[in-house]
Amino acid sequence: MRKRVFSGIQPTGQLHLGVYYGAMKNWVRLQDTYDCIYCIVDQHAQTVEYDPTVLQQRTLEAACLYIASGLDPQKCILFVQSHVKEHTELTWYLSTIASLGQLERMTQFKDKTEQHGSSNLALLAYPVLMAADILLYKAAAVPVGEDQSQHLELTRDLAQRFNHRFGQVFVEPETLLTRGKRIIGLDNQGKMSKSKPEHTSIAMVDPPDVVWAKLRPAVTDPARKRRTDPGDPNKCPIGLLHFAASSQQDIDWVIKGCTTAEIGCIDCKKQLAVNIEAEMGPIRERYSELCARPDEVWAVLKDGADRARAVATSVIDEVRDVMGIKSPV
Ligand code: AMP
Ligand code: TRP
């Protein structure tokens, strides 16, 4: 039997190259060797202020982008979180063993509370819903970006605590990271993120002129004040993007050229723009074709939810059973 993989992405804002190189590209790679379940987590997107009229559209767009990036609904399950109600049911059960102190210490909770100036119960419970997503399918591995590692640790804690208290039901999942596990924003101030100004991230669907307009003025290693100053690609958002997006040959060229000042930052950016377009151009094209056929994409998502539910209901039955919740007879 193949090992199971589960992961999710929120349908909020523009999906950017951090999401692509940190998570999505790995999802595509894994679908040939694992039993993969991928989810558009629309209920996670409700934990901060959102516009109900755009949530559905964003959900569809995220699905189009997944498929355009190479996820094949014949090889993996692709579905929307809210279509499988067992996720929220399991969230309740897990919340009975989740520690408030641990939830309050989550970095993402603290950041978002500060960013939005307030918080709510759903934002605090966010990692419990995420744990439910994963444990509901007994996933052995979860491909994500580094920013999700803390939530994965909490997921393992909850699985362990549950199994100890009620009996062996859940699998403790491992975290799968990639070379692009932390893509830095083009201002070189922390990770590329949907919630930061638009010019600091490159959207997966940005056309080449927009990509270049963002790359050209992007901040590089501060040590390279003059063209002749050597730099460190590990301290530069352009260098780090090359590591995730470029061939080994180009990566070697960047490392040698930057550390010896043989190449300038503009040369390095130009090559990156070419490499990004080579990968994103065909994805962008497939994406617009898919967006023009929304009914087909919703049908894929419905089929995915039906297949996911078949797994979810059997696990939730086990959970109910060990927790003393009796199903109606
Ligand atoms: P989100 O868009 O926040 O739902 O993130 C979707 C996935 O992309 C998660 O696995 C994140 O860890 C990953 N991710 C988001 N931003 C970045 C980034 N700047 N670098 C690497 N991975 C990221
Ligand atoms: N919290 C994740 C993020 O913001 C999204 C997510 C929700 C997820 N449920 C998940 C990721 C389950 C992996 C597995 O990126």
Ligand minimally distant from the alpha carbon of residue 155: 2
Decide: 40 in ligand 1 pocket, CB within 6 A: no
Whose alpha carbon is nearest atom 8 of ligand 2?
8
Q: What is the mean pLDDT of residues 124-140?
A: 98
Decide: 239 in ligand 2 pocket, CB within 6 A: no
With a cut of 80, say whether residue 220 has pLDDT above it.
Answer: yes
Q: Which residue type sits at 152?
A: L
Decide: 200 in ligand 1 pocket, CB within 6 A: no
Measured in angstroms, how far is the CA atom of residue 46 from the centroid of ligand 2? 13
Question: Could you tell me the pLDDT band of residue 117, with boundaries at 50, 70 and 90?
Answer: confident
Question: Could you tell me the pLDDT band of residue 260, with boundaries at 50, 70 and 90?
Answer: very high
Burial 266-281 (b: 16+ CB within 10 A, else e): eebbebbbebbbebbe
Q: Check residue 13 and give its pLDDT.
A: 81
With a cut of 80, say whether residue 328 has pLDDT above it.
Answer: no
Question: Could you tell me the pLDDT band of residue 118, with boundaries at 50, 70 and 90?
Answer: confident
* Predicted model pTM: 0.95
Measured in angstroms, how far is the CA atom of residue 267 from the centroid of ligand 2? 36
Decide: 10 in ligand 2 pocket, CB within 6 A: yes
Whose alpha carbon is nearest atom 6 of ligand 2?
8
With a cut of 80, say whether residue 217 has pLDDT above it.
Answer: yes
For the chain, domains (ranges, CATH) are 4-181+294-322 (3.40.50.620), 205-288 (1.10.240.10)
Both structure tokens of 266: 């503009």
Q: Work out which ligand 1 atom sits closest to the CA atom of 191.
A: 19
Measured in angstroms, how far is the CA atom of residue 172 from the centroid of ligand 2? 16
Q: What is the mean pLDDT of residues 286-307?
A: 98
Q: What is the mean pLDDT of residues 184-205?
A: 95
Q: Work out which ligand 2 atom sits closest to the CA atom of 6.
A: 14
Say whether 142 sits in a helix, a strand or coil.
strand
By the 8 A CB rule, do 137 and 312 touch?
yes
Percent of the chain with pLDDT over 90: 93
Q: Helices 265-291 and 237-245: crossing angle, nearest 10°?
A: 50
With a cut of 90, say whether residue 36 has pLDDT above it.
Answer: yes
Residues 6+ apart with CB under 8 A from 139: 4, 5, 6, 37, 171, 173
Instruction: Give the C-alpha separation, 94 to 272, whole Å.
Output: 44
Question: Could you tell me the pLDDT band of residue 101, with boundaries at 50, 70 and 90?
Answer: very high
85 flagged as catalytic = no
Return the minimum-mean-pLDDT range out of 35-39, 57-61, 176-180, 298-302. 176-180
Percent of the chain with pLDDT over 70: 100
The total number of residues shown for the chain amounts to: 329
Ligand minimally distant from the alpha carbon of residue 144: 1
CB neighbours (10 Å) of residue 260?
A: 10
CB neighbours (10 Å) of residue 205?
A: 19
Instruction: Give the C-alpha separation, 185 to 155, whole Å.
Output: 28
Q: Can you tell me which residue has the tokens 């699985």?
A: 159
Q: Check residue 329 and give its pLDDT.
A: 78
Question: Could you tell me the pLDDT band of residue 181, with boundaries at 50, 70 and 90?
Answer: very high
Q: What is the mean pLDDT of residues 42-54?
A: 94
Whose alpha carbon is nearest atom 13 of ligand 2?
7
Measured in angstroms, how far is the CA atom of residue 8 from the centroid of ligand 2? 5
194 flagged as catalytic = yes
Q: Where are the beta strands (DSSP E) in the chain?
A: 4-9, 35-40, 77-80, 141-143, 174-176
Q: Check residue 193 and give its pLDDT.
A: 93
Q: What is the mean pLDDT of residues 243-267?
A: 97
